[in-house]
């Protein structure tokens, strides 16, 4: 099924999750165990992030460039297929512009189509991109909107080359939105107009960057509606579990941690921080559910138990 068919608006929590594939050489069974723990909470779908290889180019004496790969994090497609096969739930692989040619994206989408995966999240990505122009006559997508257009073309039966017997795909495409503005955008209005372009190109829903201040989300959602964006906007959430995250999350995701939450965490003992994060997340979810946002999306790195506590509490109240 498509994500868009799995979203609900009945006031009951409909919680999806986002997980990160293991690093190369890591264990897939650990990730499957995380999903196993989450199955009790009936996730409508699970997103699997994607990370382009970190690449750098070294100029050779003859003026050519040699491509080196520093780090790889493969497995998004395979993991999606494994989760869907083992648990029977829908998976949403993230596809990136950066670090991939359009030809590679097309191949990945053909592969996903074979695997029966109908959902994808189209993203630009940040690093690991091609520092030099793409080799030969290969092409690349600059912004997420270009990738959405590519997927939409495939959905209408148009591939990069005239392929014999190429049937149209049928992907439901999600895109990213930023309640606190994408860090490169000069202002929120400008960023929302770029978000609207992704919807006009064929994206069917938006999942937001994590936020800890619901007011930022409510304001963003209302500005999106005023700008003419009508598709579902799914709030992205995270449970804050360590003091260190007070610095790492803002610097990595360009978000603010509300003063009240930050000072509670700062003055707490380390062992008490997860409890504070869980309480805050429950408060956020209660308010979002009360405002009619039944679909919630949690970012998980390695600690499903904290999110599980939040969802258990929400289900008791529903």
Which residues have a Cβ under 8 Å from the Cβ of 318 and sit 6 or more positions away? 11, 12, 13, 289
Choose between 83 and 273: whose C-beta lies nearer to ligand FAD: 83
Strand-pairing partners, residue 119, are: 172
- Please answer whether residues 96 and 125 qualify as being in contact, where contact means their C-beta atoms are separated by less than 8 angstroms: yes
Choose between 92 and 314: whose C-beta lies nearer to ligand FAD: 92
Q: How far is the CB of 114 from ligand FAD (least distance, A)?
A: 21
Q: How far is the CB of 47 from ligand FAD (least distance, A)?
A: 7
Q: How far is the CB of 295 from ligand FAD (least distance, A)?
A: 13
Q: How far is the CB of 125 from ligand FAD (least distance, A)?
A: 4
Choose between 47 and 106: whose C-beta lies nearer to ligand FAD: 47
- Say how far apart CA 185 and CA 200 lie, in whole Å: 19
Choose between 121 and 310: whose C-beta lies nearer to ligand FAD: 121
Helix axes 245-253, 259-267, angle to 10 degrees: 150
Q: How many CB atoms lie within 10 A of CB 263?
A: 12
- Residue in the structure block whose two tokens are 């959902």: 119
Choose between 102 and 279: whose C-beta lies nearer to ligand FAD: 102
Q: How many CB atoms lie within 10 A of CB 48?
A: 25
- Please answer whether residues 150 and 102 qualify as being in contact, where contact means their C-beta atoms are separated by less than 8 angstroms: yes
172: burial class by Cβ within 10 Å (0-12, 13-18, 19+)? buried
Could you list the residues that contact ligand FAD (CB under 6 A)? 49-51, 94, 96, 123-126, 143-145, 176, 182, 184-185, 191, 194, 198, 207, 209, 236
How far is CA 150 from its chain centroid?
Answer: 18
Q: How far is the CB of 96 from ligand FAD (least distance, A)?
A: 5
Q: How far is the CB of 308 from ligand FAD (least distance, A)?
A: 21
Choose between 205 and 274: whose C-beta lies nearer to ligand FAD: 205
Choose between 199 and 265: whose C-beta lies nearer to ligand FAD: 199
Q: How far is the CB of 165 from ligand FAD (least distance, A)?
A: 32
Strand-pairing partners, residue 17, are: 46, 298
Which residues have a Cβ under 8 Å from the Cβ of 149 and sit 6 or more positions away? 201, 202
Pairing of strands 51-59, 14-19: unpaired
């Amino acid at each position: 099924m498509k994500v868009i068919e799995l979203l609900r608006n009945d006031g009951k929590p409909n919680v999806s999750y986002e997980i990160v594939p293991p690093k190369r050489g890591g264990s897939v069974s650990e990730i499957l165990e995380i999903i196993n723990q989450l199955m009790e909470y009936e996730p409508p779908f699970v997103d699997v992030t994607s990370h382009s290889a970190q690449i750098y180019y070294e100029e050779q004496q003859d003026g050519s460039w040699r491509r080196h790969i520093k780090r790889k994090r493969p497995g998004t497609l395979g993991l999606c297929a494994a989760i869907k096969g083992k648990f029977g739930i829908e998976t949403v692989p993230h596809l990136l512009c950066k670090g991939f040619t359009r030809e590679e994206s097309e191949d990945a989408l053909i592969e996903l189509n074979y695997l029966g995966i109908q959902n994808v999240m189209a993203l630009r990505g940040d690093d690991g991109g091609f520092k030099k122009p793409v080799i030969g006559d290969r092409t690349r997508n600059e912004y997420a909107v270009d990738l959405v257009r590519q997927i939409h073309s495939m959905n209408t039966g148009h591939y990069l080359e005239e392929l014999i017997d190429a049937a149209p795909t049928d992907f439901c495409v999600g895109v990213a939105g930023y309640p606190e503005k994408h860090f490169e955008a000069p202002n929120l209005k400008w960023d929302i107009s770029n978000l609207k372009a992704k919807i006009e190109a064929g994206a069917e829903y938006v999942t937001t960057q994590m936020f800890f201040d619901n007011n930022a989300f409510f304001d963003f959602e209302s500005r999106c509606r005023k700008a003419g964006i009508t598709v579902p906007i799914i709030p992205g959430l995270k449970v804050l579990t360590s003091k260190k995250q007070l610095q790492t999350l803002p610097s990595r995701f360009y978000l603010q941690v509300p003063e009240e939450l930050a000072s509670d965490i700062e003055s707490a003992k380390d062992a008490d921080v997860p409890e504070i994060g869980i309480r805050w997340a429950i408060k956020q979810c209660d308010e979002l559910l009360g405002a009619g946002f039944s679909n919630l999306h949690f970012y998980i790195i390695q600690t499903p138990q904290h999110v599980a506590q939040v969802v258990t509490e929400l289900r008791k109240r529903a």
